[in-house]
Amino acid sequence: MNIGGVNTLACIYGMDEVKGDVKIYPLPHMPVVKDLIPDLTHFYAQHASIMPWLETKTNARKMGKSLKTVKKLDGIV
């Protein structure tokens, strides 16, 4: 949201960082659904189009071996 004229995450923006009256607005570049809630449909479509996740081509048997190695390195096994 926009707090004191700055686009930021409300969960990490401190009230002491705002000088004067605290003015809270929805993000200016996104359509508003209700109150401060933006419509994230376009955002999620863009997010999916760039595929920001890891894809692996290894099979399950190799994954089992690597998981054992990770546990061994972590001192679990």
Residue 2 confidence (pLDDT): 92
- Residue 41: give the domain boundaries: 2-73
Q: What is the pLDDT of residues 8-65, one digit of tens each?
A: 998 998 888 888 898 999 999 999 999 989 999 998 999 888 878 777 776 656 556 6
What is the DSSP track for 14-71?
Answer: -GGGS-SS--EE--TTS-EEETTEE--HHHHHHHHHT--S------HHHHHHHHHHHH
Specify the number of domains making up the chain.
1
Residue 24 confidence (pLDDT): 92
pTM here is 0.53
